[in-house]
Chains A and B, each alone.
Chain A
């Protein structure tokens, strides 16, 4: 296997790319050696050398603790629990939540053999027991596995003996998406929306 074929094979393993699209991407990189290939190599090398998981929240950053955990302007009393780093980034993108995060590294799944021990639940409990957190937001998916994990976490958090007073546990609302028309929504979303209706 020559070098280009090897690169195509590796690129083809990336999400969203198959063998054909990997070949196109590699050919494009070959054509733009100086403007694209070289900066890409440098960026990949930088990421490989510098980026690591934050020891506190599990976010990916060039520094440990990450920029979010270091930011003293953020509300240290509000903690948002997410399944993956991608979820953290999605919440950061909207810029409304000004608290801190905790990345679990997945959700409970008997099918995939993911139990509480495989997730960052023990570090989460230690963080909360250390004090200073008054609200935990469980921002997990509206799936059976996501909500099973949320209920499991809620049980564990309610069982904590906290010296600093009460802990508020909340979860994200489920329902009609912005721009969504009822006629086009799936039954599950409609059921959730109706159950979580609010008084006007």
Chain B
């Protein structure tokens, strides 16, 4: 069994003294794990930093085995972000979310494309990285079947004045529609309803709390996944400052 593909590094866990178990998001084979022989060496270690784009070749005798990766660097995105605390935190969080939510070996072309766009936006250095990250999480939720419906109010059908999201259904609700249940609903920042709305202080954190609720409620169930998401928790804390 073997394949060649392009991939983004999600995590690299040391295995023994010299090897590394690489988790990466491949274009055609989904999130895939494999052993990189000598991956902890001085030569290979810089290649396996989170967010780096690789050309990978995976080999195993049987399909269900962990298998071996041979990797070649395509783009060193991590090195571009080491000096930027905010963007580095966003890259860490994005890799953690993918690592924690995606099942192994299930191809997701859209998620790969979205992740590539996000990494390019973060590494590019221009634009609002917080908004780019928040919109990326919304797309991840949608790609995995838990997209939020922010088109109209679930109660009144109104399309203007959407202010909350139901934590159960993920549908938007206006202030009038929420009534006395407003306290039980999740606040919806305007930037998610109106792409032209300016980003207000606190909008990104509020948005991340919203997406975080659905990530935790529906998509995080693998052992150790909660622990992995502490990288995302640190991002939420950072954008709140």
Q: Is B234 an interface residue (CB 8 A)?
A: yes
A113 to B85, CA, bound (A): 20
A195 to B11, CA, bound (A): 25
Q: Is A89 an interface residue (CB 8 A)?
A: no
Is A188 touching B78 in the complex (CB atoms < 8 A)? yes
For chain A, the bracket of interface size reads: 20 to 34
A195 CB contacts on chain B under 8 angstroms: 83
Q: Is A34 an interface residue (CB 8 A)?
A: no
- 5 cross-chain CB contacts under 8 A: A108-B234, A110-B228, A147-B88, A187-B75, A188-B78
Q: Is A9 an interface residue (CB 8 A)?
A: no
Known A143-B49, A144-B51, A151-B85; further 9 A-B contacts with Cβ < 8 A: A110-B230, A147-B83, A155-B241, A174-B82, A186-B47, A186-B76, A188-B49, A189-B46, A191-B79
Q: Is A73 an interface residue (CB 8 A)?
A: no
Q: Which residue of A lies closest to B91 (CB)?
A: A144
A147 CB contacts on chain B under 8 angstroms: 82-83, 88
A112 to B11, CA, bound (A): 10
Q: Is B6 an interface residue (CB 8 A)?
A: no
The interface of chain B, by Cβ under 8 A from chain A, is 11, 13, 17, 43, 45-47, 49-52, 73, 75-76, 78-80, 82-83, 85, 88-89, 91-92, 96, 227-231, 234, 238, 241
Contacting B at CB under 8 A, from A152-200, are: 152, 154-155, 174, 186-189, 191-192, 195
Taking the closest CB of chain A, its distance from the CB of B33, in whole angstroms, is 13
Is B89 touching A188 in the complex (CB atoms < 8 A)? no
Is A110 touching B73 in the complex (CB atoms < 8 A)? no
A191 to B84, CA, bound (A): 14
B79 CB contacts on chain A under 8 angstroms: 187-189, 191-192
Taking the closest CB of chain A, its distance from the CB of B68, in whole angstroms, is 19
Contact flag A148-B88 (CB < 8 Å), given A111-B11, A189-B79: yes
The interface of chain A, by Cβ under 8 A from chain B, is 15-16, 108, 110-113, 115, 142-144, 147-148, 151-152, 154-155, 174, 186-189, 191-192, 195
Taking the closest CB of chain B, its distance from the CB of A198, in whole angstroms, is 15
A174 CB contacts on chain B under 8 angstroms: 82
| Contact of A192 (CB < 8 Å), options: B47, B82, B85 | B82
A152 to B233, CA, bound (A): 13
Task: Kindly name the residue among A15, A147, A154 whose own CB sees the greatest number of chain B CB atoms within 10 A.
Answer: A147
B231 CB contacts on chain A under 8 angstroms: 110
Taking the closest CB of chain A, its distance from the CB of B64, in whole angstroms, is 24
Q: Which residue of B lies closest to A108 (CB)?
A: B234
Taking the closest CB of chain A, its distance from the CB of B43, in whole angstroms, is 8
B228 CB contacts on chain A under 8 angstroms: 110-111
Q: Which residue of B lies closest to A146 (CB)?
A: B82
